[in-house]
Structure 1
């Protein structure tokens, strides 16, 4: 059985009493991670790309099912090249973090 540990930054919504209680009640282990630290996980960029596409027409969703449908459609039509570009950026991002000695980078 895999032992999972959840990583999240120090953003206020992650430190809220509700969030911490929810994680504790479900025995979710977390890693302490400083806010605004260099973040090399490409999923954040992919989520940003998808969010812009989901809300491209300034649309608000009345039902969760509507939002889910659009998210699934956006994911299904996201080209592999978009994901590959993010993947290929990892070495460059890592070098930028090393060059900045762990401080902020443009990534």
Structure 2
């Protein structure tokens, strides 16, 4: 039995480019319908914030140094932090529903 899965992305304009839509369609990748600008429902945004903060604290003089700083920052995030963010999803969803779709503390 084949494994089935659904791809989720946040409808950022870069992710909605025709080339992306075409690729997903050609690869027969199902995409989850997801609200635009739903930062409260995207724990990855918390991780991007951590990475940006760490990378911006370094002085990168080349594209390669910037890449290395990014990899170092990403790899320094503890697995426990990722798990905590994932485990926060039920609370995040409840908060969004309670706020009728408006911003929450997340």
Normalised by the shorter chain, which TM-score bucket?
A: 0.5 to 0.7
Of Structure 1 and Structure 2, which has the larger fraction of its residues in helix?
2
Q: Structure 2: which 5+ residue stretches go unaligned? A: none
Larger RCO: Structure 1 or Structure 2 (Cα < 8 Å, ≥ 6 residues apart)? 1
CA RMSD, 1 decimal: 3.0
TM-score, normalization by structure 1 = 0.67
Matched, 1:36 2:61: no
Q: Distance in 2 between matches of 1:52 and 1:36?
A: 21
Matched, 1:7 2:8: yes
1:31 alignment partner, SS class: coil
Which runs of at least 4 in structure 1 moved beyond 3 Å after TM superposition? 79-92
Separation in structure 1 between the aligned mates of residue 49 and residue 30 of structure 2, nearest angstrom: 26
Q: How many residues of Structure 1 are paired with residues of Structure 2 in the alignment? A: 105
- CA offset digits 1:35-81 (Å, max 9, x no partner): 13464342221122123212322536424x861x3333223333456
Structure 1: which 5+ residue stretches go unaligned? none
